[in-house]
Chains A and B, each alone.
Chain A
Amino acid sequence: MVQCFLIHTVNPVSTLAPGESRVLYSRVFAPEEGALTGADSELGPEQRRLLQNEKVAVVARQVRSAVTLSREASGRVLVETVLGEELVALQEADSGVQRLGRGEPWPGERSALWLGVQSLAFTLVTEPHENLLLAEGTLKNITRHCLEHLRMLGMGSEVLLKSDRIDVLLHRLLPHGQLLFLNHRFTQSLEKELANYMAQ
């Protein structure tokens, strides 16, 4: 299953230090490590939430580095695409997978799959022996929805406003972090429901 999904910046942000990444959206599917064994029971809920945000921030920074290095190496010049050209932006997205070693930030190893679309990265973190082909397809699907229906190109603040819609999207396509073997018909059924919801 998926540990978490996040959307974050990969270009320099004026209000942040170089190399930092702003997390625009995150959804963690796993309960906190140690929550069940009581290892972290001394931490209050607020502290636990901060700890979780910090871990997500670590992932965002690592992926930002990976995206930057990959773009530098390929020497590609990014062409700004506008609203209406989401599919083009998706086709031209850089993609990759970054190994998150033990302690970076979770005790066990993880794999961070990422799609870099212009100034944003969409990242899915899974256990290392997850079905990465399925995870890759799921990530592309989620990203496509985010770009098409949530009109994410160009305007960072829009993402914050529509996080409830992203919640619903994940609720369907990645329920509780479960990857689903969706053929095009199953996907269409879920998308129909989603469209109904978005229209409200």
Chain B
Amino acid sequence: MHEGDGCDVVSREIGEEELQKFYCRITKQLMGKEHGHDVIDSLQRLHLIMAGSKEDLSALSSLLLRSLEGRPAGILSHLHTLPLLNTIITYCPESITEDHVTLLSKRLVDWLRYASVQQGGVASSGGFFTGPRIRQPGPVVELDGCVCGDFFTVLCVSQAFSDDQWMNLYSFSLLRHWLITYHNVTDGNNSTDADDRSEVDGSVVSMVSATSSSSRLLPPKERLREKSFQYCQRLIEQSDRKALKRTDTELQKACLVEAVRILDGVCVEDAGCVYRAFPCVKSLFGRLNSDLSCSRVLLPIAQFYLNHGETAAVDSECVWRCVFGVLPAECFNDPYLAHETLSFIRANQLQLHSSVPLYTHYFPSLLKFLAWDSPGLVSDYVDVLPSLVTAGTAVELLHSLLDLPCLTAALTLQLRYTHTHTLSVLHDLLMEAADWSRVIQSAQSVPVLLHVYFNTVTTVSDERLLAQLVLVLLERSSLLLNIPKYTAEIHRVFSHHLLKLCKLHPSLVVDQSRELLEFAGTTTNIHSKEDLYTHVVWVLGEYLSVSFDSRCSVDLVTSCFEALEAVLFEITSSGSPSPRVVTSLLSALAKLASRSHDLIPRVSLFLSKLRSGAVSWCGSEEDVVAVVTRGEELWSLLKLPSVALSVLTPPSLATSPRWHRDANATLPPRLRTLTGLTDTR
């Protein structure tokens, strides 16, 4: 290390002696009154030491702890010891020995519970009042100005603070982390984050929670836990006072969050504490649940209820109604609340399903966070959405996802306008909403969520539900908010998943044949949703067969054929239809004809017209080639009806993996492969 050098570069290995010298210097600096730039410099270099070995860190920790033993003068002497220790235990908890842990636990108890309740001496910078007539400092004061009611905490104020009051602040600031690392107190939110660093096993047999009067008998670590418990209860009481300063009100909320989380962690470790903690947390919930400015405090409370509600046999439904129902609806535009709520859900997904029976029913409300801030939250919703997809919510959820941009527009209006408008005004406003940035951002998040939705819904739906979803697909394809590219994107997603659904459950096509045919028979659909249209035609051709569903009658095949045939004639006799649409119709007609040979002549008629070049409706040379080639292939196939049947409708056995053993059975797949290669699909 270079002396007096401001940059963090290690040029060589640090020798033992040099390290000792550095430690001594830094200890002296920490004990001094003034903390100039050189101290900061030294402390910054400690980051280098962090790259050192565990033995180095242990030695450093010893030194730091020893520096806490004495009580040197000057309020700044201990300023950095605890934060520094916190850094060490974050990155290398094993470097603090068991003895050190015990030692520091005792000191923490002193500072947390027994700090002075008198105001510190007035700063001796030479004020007006000197000498024996200086006023005795009075007791510290609560945030609302009343005299301090009990022991000193971070929510007490004073003209000047004494040493131990500063240490009270620093102790509480690292307390939760200390308890998690060394005292078997868990981070109460069941997170499976692999980054968790709390490895040290304290392994002292947990004692039954003693009352505070006998806490003196507890071993140091249990005593610290007990004192932490009391500190947190006191903070919760103190937060009920109306602070005189706004920044202090915000601090009270932060303290509540911390206190509830510490209580939660302690209770997870020692279930006996639940009976002491619950009344406190419950009354806190009662106090806060109607105060929207305290919304963020309700999340740690919800975690507490989730972890201990069953132990305490308490009905938690009011908490869920608040956190999942009311808060997202009222505070949808609070980015912090949104972030923390989604983190909460992600961390507790498994448990929410079992402990909160109505969890999935809150999805309309939960989607409001996403509607407001899609870019920021879409990745959270990709994680969370599967947990909301159930047989009970599937249909409504699909509608809600498709309507997300509308929800965004409505929420924007809700914020903008204080009174209700008539429906027609709202409708007009919604039309202009398609231009709003927030609405466009929201629309951009829908396709990815739809993919997640569809991938999940197939795992929770029976055929009846899937049939309903196919109908929603067809219906909503024309009922989307008119945002550029939104409709096209959604149709692309629909097409992809329609194929997947029908492949999984081919009998869906027979089930919903009427609606599918209606869709395919409506020529306007070709122009407005070509992509989706060709996919519908394809699934009809592919799966409307008795080999996929025994209910598929000859009449059904015939009526489907006739519907598609009519469309084909219509589009080729006027206007210039897309070649893709024409070839997909041709393929579908050929497939249907292969299953009902009476239809073959009708297809052949059209195909021979193609061969003779009557394709005046075709656009470019390439299109002509594509269509005619396809026509040729199908015509050749249809000349041999039984071959056509095998190729165009192989028995479903052919798709299961036994076929390679049977020379005859391999023919359809081989021909099918060939067809597949030449098919423009």
Contact = CB atoms under 8 A, between A and B. Distances in A.
Contacts of B251: 137, 181-183
A75 B160 CA distance: 46
A187 B191 CA distance: 33
Interface in A60-83: 65-66, 69-70, 72-75
Given A137-B250, A182-B169, 8 more contacts: A69-B375, A72-B437, A128-B193, A133-B250, A178-B82, A178-B87, A180-B169, A185-B159
B439 to A, nearest CB: 9
A65 B376 CA distance: 10
Given A131-B258, A171-B40, A70 B170 contact: no
B336 A176 contact: no
A53 B187 CA distance: 31
A187 B54 CA distance: 35
A-B pairs with lowest CB-CB distance, top 3: A108-B195, A31-B50, A178-B83
B91 interface: yes
10 contacts: A69-B375, A70-B373, A97-B339, A131-B257, A132-B336, A176-B83, A178-B87, A183-B155, A183-B156, A184-B245
A180 B9 contact: no
Interface of B: 8-11, 35, 37, 40, 43, 47, 50-51, 54, 76, 79-80, 82-84, 86-87, 90-92, 143, 154-161, 169-170, 172-174, 177, 187, 189, 191, 193-195, 245, 247-248, 250-251, 253-255, 257-258, 261, 296-297, 335-336, 339-340, 343, 347, 373, 375-376, 379-380, 436-438, 441
Given A70-B373, A133-B257, A1 B195 contact: no
A111 B253 CA distance: 20
A176 B80 contact: yes
A65 to B, nearest CB: 8
B187 A129 contact: yes
A107 interface: yes
Contacts of B10: 45
Contacts of A108: 193-195
Contacts of A193: 76
Interface in A82-99: 95-99
Contact of A176 (B76, B86, B154, B191): B86
Nearest to B10: A45
A134 B172 CA distance: 13
A175 B339 contact: no
A157 interface: no
A178 B258 CA distance: 14
A65 B373 CA distance: 13
A164 B37 CA distance: 8
Contact of A181 (B8, B79, B254, B297): B254
Contacts of B80: 175-176
A49 B10 CA distance: 11
Contacts of A158: none
A45 B87 contact: no
Contacts of A182: 154, 169, 251
Contact of B189 (A97, A107, A129): A129
B379 A186 contact: no
A36 B51 contact: yes
A49 B247 contact: no
A74 B87 contact: no
A101 interface: yes
A71 to B, nearest CB: 9
Contact of B335 (A45, A96, A179): A96
A3 B76 CA distance: 24
B172 A181 contact: yes
A46 to B, nearest CB: 7
Contact of A131 (B9, B84, B247, B254): B254
Nearest to A106: B195
Nearest to B175: A181
A29 B258 contact: no
B236 to A, nearest CB: 14
Contact of A73 (B11, B40, B91, B441): B441
A83 B81 CA distance: 37
A176 B195 contact: no
A54 interface: no
A185 B254 contact: no
A168 B36 CA distance: 9
Contacts of A73: 373, 375, 437-438, 441
Contact of A133 (B76, B143, B253): B253
A187 B248 CA distance: 11
Contact of A134 (B9, B254, B339, B437): B254
A175 B250 contact: no
Contacts of A98: 376
A189 B172 contact: no
A101 B160 CA distance: 43
B83 A181 contact: no
Nearest to B75: A189
Given A73-B437, A176-B83, A182-B169, A36 B91 contact: yes
A128 B160 CA distance: 34
